[in-house]
Every structure is written in structure tokens, then in C-alpha cells.
Copies of this chain bind each other. A is one copy, B any other.
Amino acid sequence: MPIDDATISALAQRLRRDSLLSTSEAGSGHPTTCMSAAEIVASLFGREMAIDPRDPNRPGTDHFVLSKGHAAPILWSILKEVGAINNDLLTLRRADSPLEGHPLPLDVPGWVKVATGSLGQGLSASVGMALARRLAGDPGRIYCLMGDGEIAEGSVWEAAEIGAYDKLANLCAIVDVNGLGQSGRTMHGHDIDAICAKWRAFGWHAVGLDGHDVAALAHAFDDARRTGDRPTVLVARTLKGKGVKLTEDQPGWHGKALKKGPELDTALAEIGDPPLHLTIEARTRGQASARPKAPTSAPAAPMYKVGDSVAPREAWGEALVRIGTVDSRIVVLDAEVKNSTFAERFKDKFPGRFVECFIAEQNMVGTALGFAAEGFIPCASTFGAFFARAYDFIRMAAYSTPPHLILCGTHVGVSIGEDGPSQMALEDLAAMRAIIGATVLYPADGMSASRLVEEATRTAGIVYLRLGRPKNQVIYGADEKFPVGGSKVVRRSDRDAVTVVAAGVTLHEALAAHARLAERGVAVRVIDAYSVKPLDVATLARAADETGGLVTVEDHSAWGGLGEAVAAAVRPRRHELLAVTGIPHSAKPEELLAHHRIDAAAIVDAVVKLTS
């Protein structure tokens, strides 16, 4: 039985009422951004979307992404109205309640698949979900609600261009154009034509409409569903704080709850409490034909042999192909450097599971997160330096607690050579280590790199792989294990004077230093700290204890990388921290390693210093 306009309008008023009540009870929050979106949200959940209130993950159902995450109260309200959750809305923002100030998947699994609240990220995740559903043959649609303030974020236009490029007809965005930002009018105010023009220029079907007109919304959603060759955006003119005289289209009410007592009571009286007879029937748009499944066999072993000359980054492409051959959950995303990261090898073999994201790293990470939410194992790569572009997305991805999100940064440190500092990741270890729950791996050769890509696919959450540019000798055999949290003691004796802790390119410098020191009769232990986070504290502490001190050496800035990690975790009595402290210049890799004092000669000097 079709649900009539009056019911949707009554539902919208209920959502307004709930949003006011819950934020006033919490004493904080954003009721007015809920009030502008009330008819949109009511129309989506009450009439447009195919949902099963008992199972948010049911194949063939639609998914809603609240990109304007500060409107969380209306999400909790609608989920309660449709019977998806049963929490007391008045516990909003309380430590003992899942009803967060901004949505997190941890709290309401399935209904919330990605954390929002840093604006301009939801559409990228939606693009990823829409791509994933196409790949999985799942007819369920993705709806993404944004604010008009947030479309100032460039990442929205990155997602828009990919949504159009990939012709995502299963994606529908809605911009809630209430014209008011946090601290003033938005750039375009209520000029929905100007906003529509942007989306059309970016290749979308754009529909301008009154976002409080439930009949117009129904018509536009219908239009979106019938548009088969591209995504649709509804650009909805609304009023912030709609329905209450005190707040309607008034500035100064962005992140502010109404005061309990007369202020709230008057508002509630204006909203009213009309009777609402809403019946949500579970429905789908059909079944998925190819849901991603875990593999039934292990990948083949890497073909590298000890002594081969292999750049760690090459192992990225090699391992993706190996793993992707047995695991159809693997999808690979590229930011238009696939020939440098070797991701193109995967593209050549599995073009259907490869997504070209062009030079737009934020959207690449957000899209990857969307794939993760749909059961795939996304593997996204670009130069390590350019993941800095997506750092806010990575931060938010951590709060999305994805089952898997594998990021591979290549071309790291001064050892890339002549291209200069713009292309050198020198901050990525610090930045990625700081992400709560993230794993950070930094293998030194092709074999360990290849095996650690396998490990990454078995590791929950965000895994960052740091894979160097230069070719190095393969030093490990195919039977070696590289568990996350482990390390490799690659040189040891009973009379080691010092331990050198290295990773990536500096491990090879450490091995050279070991040889030079051996000629002088000085024995040093050499440890490959390929697991930078978590660190193999036990092995490192034992080495610090058994030898006279530690030299850490890393092709990374001196702050927040391997050296500090070791210093804090191990507390060696004596420690020389070798790392990059000045701005690098274009030069040959070996010149740069020498200039920045992270080469074998510098390691020898540091060992001599600690032993003299």
C-alpha cells in the first residue's frame, strides 16, 4: 500500500520533534540541521528506500549515508521510527548510549557503515558502495545526504567526477540547501540553480526542488531511479530550523540545542505531535548475484629468489595479482600512478576489480572505504607522500572500523632521488602511526613486501604498507614468515656491541654497515623492524639489553617515525636516532642517503659513537 504524502509530512514533523527533544536533553547537538532535512529523510526511509528494518545488510536493500554527520539525531530518530533500533532517543550523546553526536558504525552496525562528521566524505564512501554493488550484482541503491556547506569541500567534486565517469546510476545524492553554515550564509545561499549547474557540469543529472515538498521529493526520487546512465543529485531548497519560528532560517543556531523549558516547549507546540500511522514493509530491489566471498585456497608463493633485484613497490603489483587470483574480494584502487606503484599488473589481469580514481587521493580512500563496507578488501595505492592528501579520510576511516582497508604508499623518503621533496613521503610513518588502531608495515625487500601484502589481507582494520622505490636485493627466502608485530634479527652474534634497528631501504644500509664494522672487528646486531606498528618490543628490548645501545635509522623525518617509536617502547639507555631533519634536494638516492646521514657510513659513525 503506497504511503501518502500526509503520512510522510507527519513523519517529518515527528523527526523534527525527536531531534529537538534529544538535543535539548543532551544540552548540545545540531537540531536545526535535522529540521531542514526532515522531509528528505522522511521521504527516503518512509517511502523511497527499499529497506528491511530487521537486517540492514540484507542483499538488495538500499543504504543511506548521512554525510552531514552532525544531523545524527534525525538518523537515530528515523531508525527508531522504522523499527531498526530501539534505543531511548533521550540518551543522545551519553557515554552509555550508542546514539553518538556524529554517527559511528561501531554503535549502530549495518545502518551506519562509515563514520561521518568531517564533512565532504560521505559521497566518496557512497561512490565506493555503488561501485561495489555493481560489482557484486546487488541492485540495492545508495542514497547520500549532504549539506550545502559541505559541498565547498573539494573532495565532494572528486567523488562527483568519479560518480559520473563510472556512470553510477545506482547512486543518488541529496544536497540539503538550507543556505546557512555554522557561522554565516553559505557561498551560494539558496541559489539552487548555481548549485545544480555545478553538478551538471560534473556530469550528474541534477534536479532542483523544494526540499520540504514531499510530493516533489517523491517525483524527483522516481526520476533518479529512471535515470540509467549517470548518478542523480537532488538539490533541495530548505530552511534551517524549519518549523519553529525561533530557529527557522535564523543564523546563530548551528550547533545549539534549545533550552529545556519554555524555549523548547514553544518549539514543540509549533511542531505539534500529529498522529502517525507508519508501516514499513521489508522489501528489496532483488537479489545480489555475486556477493564477495572469502577464498577457499591460499595464494601461490612469491616467485622471488634470494639475491634477485626487486623494488619493494614491485611486490605490491605482484602480490595483488597472486592474492587476487584466489580472492575475489580484492579490489584495487589507483590515483593515476599505477605504472609507478605496479598496481597496473592487477588492472591488466582483473580489470573489473580495478578502479581508476585519477589524481584525487581523498576520494580514492573514501571509495576504498565504501568497498570495505560492502565486504570487499580494498587495496589503494599511490605515492606515500600523496596519502597526506587523504589524511582526514584515513583518520575518519579509522572511526569507521572497516573490516579491511589496505593502503600502500610507494616512493618513500629521500631514497626516491631526483624528483625532490614534493614526491618524498617523509611524514607518513608519523601520520599513519598516530591513527588509532592502524597497522604500519615497512618491508625492506621484495619477498617481505610480497608476504606482508598477504598479511595485510588477513589483518583487520587499516593497514598501511610503506614500499620503497629503489631496487634492492631480495634477502629473505619464500619460507620466511613475517607476522604483523614481528621483526627479523638479520645479523647477530654473542658479542654484538650495538643493535642497529632499520626498516626498508635503511636495512640494506645497515647490512653494509655491518660488513664494514665486521672488517674493523666490531660486531653489531641488525634488526629489520618491518612491523613499525605494532612494534616487536620484546625482541628490540632484548637486543637493547644484550648490546650496548640502539641505533635506529629510517628514511623518514626524525619526528614520530621508527626512532621515536623504539625510544618510547624500549627506552634504551643509549640511542642514536638517525633520520631526515632537513629539507631534501634533488640528487641521486645514494647522495641523499649520505647527505641526510642515514647511509651505511652514518650508521658506522653512530655505532662508533655508542661504543667509544
Binding site for B on A (CB under 8 A): 26, 28-29, 69, 93-95, 97, 99-102, 104, 106, 115-120, 149-150, 152-158, 161, 165, 181-184, 186-187, 194, 197-198, 200-202, 254-255, 334, 336-340, 344, 356, 358-363, 385-386, 388-389, 391-392, 395-396, 398-399, 401, 417-423, 426-427, 429-431, 433-437, 533, 557, 559-561, 563-565, 567-568, 571-573, 575, 577, 580-583, 585-588, 591-592, 595
Cα of A399 to Cα of B385 in the assembled complex, Å: 13
Cα of A158 to Cα of B152 in the assembled complex, Å: 6
Q: Which residues of chain B are within 8 angstroms of A344 by Cβ–Cβ distance?
A: 183
Cα of A507 to Cα of B556 in the assembled complex, Å: 31
A559 contact from B28, B395, B419, B533, Cβ within 8 A: B533
Contact B157 A583 (CB under 8 A): no
- Can you list 28 A-B pairs with a CB-CB distance of less than 8 A? A94-B587, A100-B586, A102-B586, A104-B583, A118-B423, A150-B359, A152-B336, A152-B358, A153-B154, A154-B360, A157-B157, A183-B334, A183-B337, A183-B338, A186-B358, A361-B392, A385-B392, A389-B391, A391-B431, A399-B422, A426-B436, A427-B435, A431-B431, A431-B434, A434-B557, A436-B582, A564-B567, A571-B575
Contact A559 B560 (CB under 8 A): yes
Contact B385 A583 (CB under 8 A): no
Cα of A118 to Cα of B359 in the assembled complex, Å: 10
Contact B437 A583 (CB under 8 A): yes
Cα of A117 to Cα of B155 in the assembled complex, Å: 19
CB distance from A585 to the nearest CB of B (A): 6
Cα of A162 to Cα of B529 in the assembled complex, Å: 46
Given known pairs A29-B418, A116-B422, A422-B396, the reply for A581 and B104 (CB within 8 Å) is: no
Cα of A336 to Cα of B255 in the assembled complex, Å: 13
Cα of A336 to Cα of B120 in the assembled complex, Å: 14
A560 contact from B158, B186, B560, Cβ within 8 A: B560
A358 contact from B187, B336, B573, Cβ within 8 A: B187
Cα of A120 to Cα of B157 in the assembled complex, Å: 13
Q: Which residues of chain B are within 8 angstroms of A568 by Cβ–Cβ distance?
A: 563-564, 567-568, 575, 577
Q: Which residues of chain B are within 8 angstroms of A427 by Cβ–Cβ distance?
A: 391, 395, 431, 434-435
Contact B154 A362 (CB under 8 A): yes
Q: Which residues of chain B are within 8 angstroms of A585 by Cβ–Cβ distance?
A: 95, 100, 104
Contact A595 B358 (CB under 8 A): no
Cα of A581 to Cα of B533 in the assembled complex, Å: 13
Q: Which residues of chain B are within 8 angstroms of A582 by Cβ–Cβ distance?
A: 436
Cα of A563 to Cα of B567 in the assembled complex, Å: 10
Copies in the complex: 2
Contact B595 A559 (CB under 8 A): no
Q: Which residues of chain B are within 8 angstroms of A69 by Cβ–Cβ distance?
A: 422
A388 contact from B117, B120, B158, B392, Cβ within 8 A: B392
Contact B583 A359 (CB under 8 A): no
Given known pairs A153-B154, A158-B154, A586-B101, the reply for A436 and B385 (CB within 8 Å) is: no
Residue of B nearest to A337 (CB): B182
Cα of A583 to Cα of B334 in the assembled complex, Å: 29
Cα of A499 to Cα of B202 in the assembled complex, Å: 58
Q: Which residues of chain B are within 8 angstroms of A385 by Cβ–Cβ distance?
A: 118, 392, 395
Residue of B nearest to A401 (CB): B583
Top 4 closest pairs, chain A to chain B, by CB: A154-B154, A117-B422, A560-B560, A95-B587
A583 contact from B183, B389, B399, Cβ within 8 A: B399
CB distance from A251 to the nearest CB of B (A): 10
Q: Which residues of chain B are within 8 angstroms of A26 by Cβ–Cβ distance?
A: 418
Q: Which residues of chain B are within 8 angstroms of A95 by Cβ–Cβ distance?
A: 585-588, 591-592, 595
Contact A426 B418 (CB under 8 A): no
Cα of A577 to Cα of B165 in the assembled complex, Å: 48
Cα of A297 to Cα of B533 in the assembled complex, Å: 50
Contact B565 A101 (CB under 8 A): no
CB distance from A188 to the nearest CB of B (A): 9
Cα of A99 to Cα of B420 in the assembled complex, Å: 11
Q: Which residues of chain B are within 8 angstroms of A388 by Cβ–Cβ distance?
A: 118, 391-392, 395
Cα of A291 to Cα of B431 in the assembled complex, Å: 38
Q: Which residues of chain B are within 8 angstroms of A360 by Cβ–Cβ distance?
A: 152-154
Residue of B nearest to A117 (CB): B422
Instruction: Find the residue from A340, A421, A533 having the highest chain B CB count within 10 A.
Output: A421
Residue of B nearest to A95 (CB): B587
Instruction: Find the residue from A99, A158, A337, A391 having the highest chain B CB count within 10 A.
Output: A391
Q: Which residues of chain B are within 8 angstroms of A559 by Cβ–Cβ distance?
A: 430, 433-434, 533, 560, 565
Q: Which residues of chain B are within 8 angstroms of A399 by Cβ–Cβ distance?
A: 421-422, 583
CB distance from A596 to the nearest CB of B (A): 10
Task: Using A99-B586, A183-B338, A436-B580 as known contacts, list a sample of 19 further A-B pairs with CB atoms less than 8 Å apart, ordered by residue number in A.
Answer: A102-B420, A102-B422, A117-B423, A153-B389, A181-B358, A182-B339, A187-B358, A201-B202, A388-B395, A427-B431, A436-B581, A560-B560, A564-B564, A564-B565, A568-B568, A568-B575, A571-B572, A571-B575, A573-B573
Contact B430 A560 (CB under 8 A): yes
CB distance from A170 to the nearest CB of B (A): 20
